[in-house]
Amino acid sequence: MTRINIEINDELHKKAKLNALLQNKTLIEYIHEALEEKISSGKKKK
């Protein structure tokens, strides 16, 4: 696994954190799944 440091604006962080909590996930889990979904949906369009 690779670790990265990212910078996001405060509003995006708040929304992501809230969505993660509502889904009973950590923020890292939520972001990981969101990236996987975005990548897989990009592959389907081609």
Per-residue pLDDT tens digits for 10-25: 999 999 999 999 999 9
Q: How many CB atoms lie within 10 A of CB 30?
A: 18
> What's the burial of 31, exposed, middle or buried (CB within 10 Å: 0-12/13-18/19+)?
middle
Number of H helices, E strands in the chain: 2, 0
Query: What's the predicted TM-score (pTM) here?
Result: 0.79
Residues in the chain: 46
From the list 11, 16, 46, 10, the residue with the least C-alpha distance to 33 is 16
Average confidence score pLDDT of the chain:
92
> Which letter does DSSP use for residue 24 in this model?
T
pLDDT band at 46 (very low <50, low <70, confident <90, very high): low
